[in-house]
């Protein structure tokens, strides 16, 4: 459920809002009723609600000031203004603060329900997408431990379906990156998409093309193997999918700023 705080100085209106609307049915938990701005601000010391329904004209801090304070503490809070003050200046300030709705008194419970049904749907969609991103990132970390340190910096975008396809593509790369014959065509075939589309999709979601992912995985494996003196450099080159040692040396130096030999000498 999403948490809602109501700030309204008129007791009758405040109680009507609490009693006339079945908030639980809307997927909302009414966590508090504040009779003025000062009382509402006390909620900033604890868990900030997801939703704020506030009157404008209140003592000890008006609704605009209240919204500014809550937004500075929690930028993604959804704010709805309830007011009998039909003045342009308040509406202008509300728009500037990205207030979702500006509802005029006298209150209409049906109108308020319609407003909150829409808001809850939007919040639920955002929450599901956020959970989807978290699950995907965790899966990628589980499947690709060598990349665990870089994943938090990846900027995810697009639908969950896109992310699932990208996850499959990267898993295919990880399973086959040591193969000298691995190409974009192989990855595209594994995912069941065209070469152009899968490459663009991986770049859109992760910021790297498929060829960059292949190089990245190879270089990180080379970095790991170079720390083991029992492996000779030409053996490492072959193990990670390169047949040309000069090419391997160039790619490694481009990635880490050192040749494989220099890297090993510095590490050992």
Higher-pLDDT residue of 233, 130: 233
| Residue 97 pLDDT > 80 | no
| Residue 48 pLDDT > 60 | yes
| Residue 234 pLDDT > 60 | yes
3-state secondary structure of 257: coil
| Residue 87 pLDDT > 70 | no
Contact 56, 81 (CB under 8 A): yes
Domains of the chain: 2-126 (3.40.50.2300), 144-268 (1.10.10.60)
Give the mean pLDDT of 227-254: 90
- State residue 142's pLDDT score: 62
Give CA–CA dist 91/32, Å, rounded.
25
- State residue 75's pLDDT score: 80
3-state secondary structure of 193: coil
What are the E-state strand segments in 179-250? none
pTM of the model: 0.52
Give CA–CA dist 107/101, Å, rounded.
13
| Residue 150 pLDDT > 50 | no
For 170-190, how does the pLDDT look when each residue is reduced to its tens digit (9 = 90+)?
A: 888 988 888 888 888 999 888
In this prediction, residue 222 has a pLDDT band, given cuts at 50, 70 and 90, of very high
Higher-pLDDT residue of 28, 90: 28
- State residue 133's pLDDT score: 67
Give CA–CA dist 33/150, Å, rounded.
44
| Residue 96 pLDDT > 60 | no
Contact 57, 83 (CB under 8 A): yes
Which tokens go with 239? Answer: 């193990």
Give CA–CA dist 57/84, Å, rounded.
8
């Amino acid at each position: 459920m999403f948490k809602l705080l109501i700030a309204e100085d008129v007791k009758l209106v405040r109680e009507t809002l609490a009693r006339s609307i079945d908030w639980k049915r809307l997927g909302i938990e009414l966590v508090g009723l504040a009779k003025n701005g000062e009382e509402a601000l006390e909620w900033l010391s604890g868990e900030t609600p997801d939703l704020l329904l506030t009157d404008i004209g209140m003592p000890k801090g008006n609704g605009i000031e209240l919204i500014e304070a809550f937004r500075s503490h929690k930028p993604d809070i959804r704010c709805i203004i309830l007011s009998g003050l039909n003045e342009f200046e308040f509406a202008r300030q509300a728009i500037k603060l990205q207030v979702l709705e500006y509802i005029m008194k006298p209150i209409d419970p049906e109108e308020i329900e319609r407003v909150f049904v829409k808001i809850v749907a939007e919040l639920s969609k955002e929450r599901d997408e956020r959970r989807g991103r978290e699950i995907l990132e965790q899966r990628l970390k589980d499947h690709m431990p060598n990349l665990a340190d870089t994943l938090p910096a990846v900027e995810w975008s697009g639908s969950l379906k896109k992310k699932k396809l990208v996850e499959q593509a990267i898993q295919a790369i990880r399973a086959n990156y040591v193969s000298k014959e691995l190409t974009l065509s192989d990855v595209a075939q594994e995912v069941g998409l065209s070469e152009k589309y899968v490459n663009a999709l991986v770049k859109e979601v992760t910021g790297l093309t498929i060829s960059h992912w292949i190089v990245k995985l190879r270089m990180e494996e080379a970095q790991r193997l170079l720390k083991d003196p029992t492996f000779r450099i030409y053996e490492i080159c072959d193990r990670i999918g390169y047949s040309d040692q000069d090419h391997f040396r160039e790619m490694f130096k481009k990635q880490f700023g050192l040749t494989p030999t220099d890297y090993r000498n510095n590490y050992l």
